[in-house]
Amino acid sequence: MDTQQTIELFDKYVIANYGRLPRVIVKGQNGYLYDADGNEILDMFPGWAVSGIGHCHPKVVAAIKEQAEKLLHIDNTFYSEPQGVLAKMLSERGFGGKCFFCNSGAEANEAALKLARLHTASEKYKFITAEGSFHGRTFATVTATAQPKYHEGFLPLIPGFSYVPFNDIEALEKAFTDEVAAVMVEPIQGEGGINVADSEYLRTIRRLCDENNALMVLDEVQTGIGRTGKWFGYQHFDVVPDIITMAKALGGGVAIGAMMAAPEVAASLIPGKHASTFGGNALACAASIATLEAIEEENLLENAQKIGNYAMEKLNQLAQKHAAIDHVRGIGMMIGVQLSSDGSEIVAKCLERGLRINCTNQTVIRFMPAMIATAEQIDKAIEIFDSVLSEATG
């Protein structure tokens, strides 16, 4: 089937709820994508941060093959070894919490919100989230997502959510009442445009939650599993949350989500209160275990820091050269280039030249290479980005 035929299938049979680029991807390997017309694309935004250790990592592929021959899925009526092993690995790399498994970021956040309600006193039903956040598309998580554009057409939303400007300590203090069950924020806002939390801000959330018997929930769906150069984004800050959620890069390309909660909080999630049919299935857990092992065996946390810094340095040099770039921000392999105007055209032009990047919030280019990225790949990406910017500004 050629590109046009595939697109025709979509036009007829797939709901058109995404703005898609006119490419059909047939293969992904390491830091590259290949389309149906034989083009190679350097991927600096692999799978919206899902392919965190690159496309089709051989260790993950091998683990999937091996597990697939033994057991694909077993429901949570039984125990299965991969789920237990994965929970232990995450707990040891996080804050010693216990895990609940699901299949996506929104589901992980949904679980966190429900657990916060269950664990705290019955009068506590409110949640505080930050403007510019993104927490998912289910009714509760889209309500938590404090961006009006995601709410249009869905009013009334779930009651009890209040929104405060990100990194604004005073606003947070004002918003806190006895009825707050939890505060949920991203340590680095992803869709909101790579906005890094201040340490002081996160420490204030921790203090206010402690003082008010509320829970501190960090959405690590995008920041988690090594992208920032540490296992979890919160580890860059002097703070320990009660709950973190993760998904995206967790399965090395396979759908899996997880919520990790401190043991005393986790104890409130008793049988009958929450569940997921596919959650923690053997195949996804095996892929996830292999992903975490690959990160360790190949020193990818270190590489994410090193290559991330290298990319940031190169992008800062471009910022000196091009007035179109206001500034560059981020940590590790989570980098935002703040433009002074809309970036969608730049993204389209880069793709024409074989580079995939992303534009979020209209004016922020996201460079989020896989943790296996090399300096040579960054150089190539910078070269293409540079040439497109030069052309755009004449």
Catalytic residues: 134, 219, 248
Q: Residue 186, interface with ligand PLP (CB under 6 A)? A: yes
Selected binder of ligand PLP within 63, 89, 90, 106 (CB under 6 A): 106
Q: Tell the burial category of 16 from Cβ atoms under 10 Å away from its Cβ (0-12, 13-18, 19+).
A: exposed
* Separation CA 222–CA 225 (nearest Å): 8
Minimum CB distance to ligand PLP, residue 288 (Å)? 14
User: Which one of 51-59, 80-88, 101-109, 340-348 is the stretch in contact with ligand PLP (CB under 6 A)?
Assistant: 101-109
Q: Residue 148: enclosing H or E segment and its boundaries?
A: helix 148-151
Residue 104 as a binder of ligand PLP (CB under 6 A): the answer is yes
CB of 318 to ligand PLP, least distance (A): 25
CB of 192 to ligand PLP, least distance (A): 9
The answer to whether 135 contacts ligand PLP (rule: CB under 6 A) is yes
Q: How far is 324 from 322, CA to CA, in rounded Å?
A: 5
Nearer to ligand PLP, 108 or 384 (CB): 108
- Which pair of structure tokens corresponds to residue 21? 């680029």
Nearest approach, Cβ of residue 230 and ligand PLP (Å):
16
How many Å separate Cα 119 from the centre of its chain?
25
Q: Among 235, 190, 205, 223, which Cα is nearest to 129's?
A: 205
Judged on CB neighbours under 10 Å (0-12, 13-18, 19+), 47 is middle
- β pairing state of 40-43 and 32-35: antiparallel
Which residues partner with 30 through β-bridges? 55
Of 81, 68, 108, 50, nearest to 283 by C-alpha is 68
Contacts with ligand PLP in 193-252 (CB under 6 A)? 219, 221-222, 247-248
105 touches ligand PLP by CB under 6 A: yes
Q: What are phi and psi of 166, to 5 degrees?
A: -65, 140
Backbone region of residue 336 per phi and psi (left: phi > 0; alpha: psi in -120 to 50; beta: other values) = beta
| Binds ligand PLP by CB under 6 A, chosen from 28, 52, 136, 280 | 136
Which of these ranges, 24-32, 103-111, 285-293, 331-339, lies near ligand PLP under the rule CB under 6 A? 103-111
Please select the residue that binds ligand PLP; options are 32, 100, 101, 134, rule is CB under 6 A. Answer: 134
Nearest approach, Cβ of residue 48 and ligand PLP (Å) = 7
Tell me if 360 contacts ligand PLP by CB under 6 A.
no
Using CB under 6 A, list all residues that contact ligand PLP: 104-106, 109, 134-136, 186, 190-191, 219, 221-222, 247-248
